[in-house]
Structures are given as C-alpha cells and as structure tokens.
Amino acid sequence: MLNFQFHNPTRIVFGKDTVPALDELIPGDARVLILYGGQSAERTGTLAEVRKALGDRAHYEFGGIEPNPSFETLTQAVEQVRFHNIDYLLAVGGGSVIDGTKFVAAAAKFVGDSWQILETVGGAVRDALPFGAVLTLSATGSEMNFNAVVTRKATQTKALFASPHVFPQFSILDPSKTFTVPARQLANGVVDAFTHVVEQYLTYPVDARVQDRFAEGLLQTLIEIGPTVVSQPPDYQSRANMMWAATMALNGLIGAGVPQDWATHLVGHELTVLHGLDHAQTLAILLPSMLDARRDGKRAKLLQYAERVWHITADSEDERIDLAIEKTRAFFEDLGVKTRLSDYGIQAEAIDGLVEQLGLHGMTRLGERQDVTLEVSRTVLEASL
C-alpha cells in the first residue's frame, strides 16, 4: 500500500425529510447565499423547504448555475457575495451546483484574478467561505470531497481544482430528492459513480486489500441497483443505496493509498467542451476503449476486476479481459447511456481537434503511470468511434 493521509471533515446528514436540519447546521447569525441551477429546485419544492428551514436568517439567492458550471456565471455569484456581504453559502443541486459553490467559496476570498484558482489546480487557494449542500442528484461525490470542475466558456477550457479549504461543512442527502431526476441523468449518475471507482481501482496492484474490496463492493452495488435506479416509479431503497454509493465512490476513502488513473475523465472533459456531451456520456464512451488500449499495464487489475466484479473465471487471460470490458460496455448501454462517439454524431474528423485541445491543456502524460500520451489518447478516441 502507498503512504497516505486521510481526512474528511464533511458531516453527512442522510435520510428522508432531513432538510429541516439546516436550522441546526448553519449558524443562526449567518448571511446566506443559496446557489442553485435551473428551475428543478424551485419546481420540486426543495427551495421552499430550504427557505423555511433558514427561518429568520438573512438569505439571498443565486440561480442559473448551468450543468458544467461556467466561470463566467460563477463570477457573477462572487459579485453577489461581495455585494450582500455574504458569509455562508448553501448549494442546492447536483455536482454542477456544488462544484460551482466551491469555486464561489474560494473566489470570494481570493485576491487577484480568480481563474488562477484553476490554473494552479487549487494550489493558490488560501481560504474559502464556509458552505453546505443539499444534494438533489447522485453522481459526482462532490458533496463529500474537495474537488470542483469549472468551464471557462471563452476559451473552451474545462478545468479542475482541489483544495482542502472547499470541503463542504455538511451535506444533506435525502434520497427522495432524486425522485424527480430525469432517466437520462439517473443513468448518467450510475455511470459517473461507477467510473469514479474504476479510476481509483483499476490501475496496478499495491496490495491494498481494504481499498480493493471497498471498491469491488461499490461496483457490485452499482451493477445490482443500476437498473432499478433508472426505472419508474422511484424506489426509495435503491435511490438510498445509489446516493451513498456515489458519495463513497469519491470521498477519498477508496483512493487513499492506491495509484489513481483519471485519464478517462480528463479526455472526457474535451468531449464535453467541444461537443457538449454530458460528463457521464463521455465516460461511457471512453472507459471501455481506455481499458482495452491499456490492457498490458492494467492486466493484473483487469483480471481481478473480471473475476471479483463480473465473476469471469474461464478461458484465457485475454478472453477474460475482453469479456469484462464487454460487460462494462453492456452495463452502460443497458442503463441507456450510449458508448460510441458515432452514437452522438461525432465522426473521425473530430479527433484531430480533440487531440489538439488535449495538447493545449497539457494533457500529454495521463494515467497512473503517466504513459497516456497524446498518441494513446488518439488510439482510444479512434477505438471509440
């Protein structure tokens, strides 16, 4: 096992009808800015519940944080924070709103051009406003981690930052809040959480048995509940398991002391900025080809994945790996998430532009061994057509 430190200060308040707990979680004298996305938080009544729970606290609202939150929109939120002298933020939404709130929390305390937060991958963050979250969609794990992804529309850059200053102080996880999530986003959530686990698990062995078995448990849970999560009518228990699995998939626990990959995510970001695909759609397209193209470096873990997650034990090593990758692709397809670039109208001519963007963004040595060069990314994209 590799050396590690593990620290996660986010309080999780999990279960039905937990929004009123905001009253105990947020200081009584706080000046609160509620941040949310489109109209779903209003339409579903969640915002009304939040307003009620805040009681007499001075509170303001900032709506319109888009999926894949933009630097441009978030900068307007920072202005609101300064204008109203806000000292506490509350994100109500999915990963995009929570990531956006992390940026606003850091940018509000930042001196200078706040894009440096992204340019330094969070290294320049010295302080941030405190914030909490009411999660309405299970997928990213943002509710219990210190990562955020922000898009600068002007330069078509989707960039990540991480800083211990932007852990949420608390997150309210009420699985029934996901009952209104459309099927496409539910399926996206399963694919996103699944891929988060794979990025931390499917690298090379370091004899990290606890992390491996936690990861395998999460993958098996997602395979088991995925079809029920996307079906109607909503089922509370499968949504509860989904919510906790997605949170555990990226809260630092399974990634402590193990090598991590993330090439699928980083190549996927270019697909989102250039072609507008949902984050999880990019993962469903790239993950199977990424595993296939890198089967030699990942061989031992691919065989472990085949055996322990998909129960594949017969035939040659390469046949077992082929079948495990095939089952991964079929799992995504069965959830309704297409796994080929051509399914989204993206053809071979687009690949040069994608590889060029990767180069521009410095994505030239990715993966757990830093051996995913631009040539490897090109091979993966070509195999994903």
Ligand X SMILES: NC(=O)c1ccc[n+]([C@@H]2O[C@H](COP(=O)([O-])OP(=O)(O)OC[C@H]3O[C@@H](n4cnc5c(N)ncnc54)[C@H](O)[C@@H]3O)[C@@H](O)[C@H]2O)c1
129: number of Cβ within 10 Å? 21
Q: Could you tell me which of 152, 202, 184 has the C-alpha nearest to residue 357?
A: 152
> CB of 109: closest distance to ligand X in angstroms?
19
> CB of 235: closest distance to ligand X in angstroms?
16
Considering the complex, state which of residue 148 and residue 277 has its C-beta at the smaller distance from ligand X. 148
Structure tokens at 185: 């986003």
> CB of 153: closest distance to ligand X in angstroms?
13
If 0-12 CB within 10 Å is exposed, 13-18 middle and 19+ buried, where does residue 134 land? buried
Q: Could you tell me which of 225, 211, 215, 203 has the C-alpha nearest to residue 331?
A: 225
* Residues 250/222, Cβ–Cβ less than 8 Å: no
> CB of 209: closest distance to ligand X in angstroms?
25
147: helix, coil or strand?
strand
> CB of 43: closest distance to ligand X in angstroms?
8
Which DSSP state fits 70?
B
* Residues 310/291, Cβ–Cβ less than 8 Å: no
Work out the widest C-alpha separation in the chain, in whole angstroms.
67
Residues that bind ligand X (CB under 6 A): 37-38, 40, 44, 67-68, 93-97, 99, 136-137, 139-142, 145, 147-149, 177-178, 180-181, 185, 188, 192, 250, 279
Q: How far apart are CA 345 and CA 275, in angstroms?
A: 9
Phi-psi region of 257 (alpha: psi -120 to 50; beta: other; left: phi over 0): left
Considering the complex, state which of residue 10 and residue 188 has its C-beta at the smaller distance from ligand X. 188
Considering the complex, state which of residue 167 and residue 310 has its C-beta at the smaller distance from ligand X. 167
> CB of 144: closest distance to ligand X in angstroms?
9
> CB of 68: closest distance to ligand X in angstroms?
4
Considering the complex, state which of residue 99 and residue 261 has its C-beta at the smaller distance from ligand X. 99
Q: To 10 degrees, what angle do helices 374-383 and 351-360 make?
A: 150
Q: How far apart are CA 322 and CA 316, in angstroms?
A: 10
278: number of Cβ within 10 Å? 21
Query: 152 pairs with which residues across the strands?
Result: 157
> CB of 243: closest distance to ligand X in angstroms?
11
Considering the complex, state which of residue 171 and residue 188 has its C-beta at the smaller distance from ligand X. 188
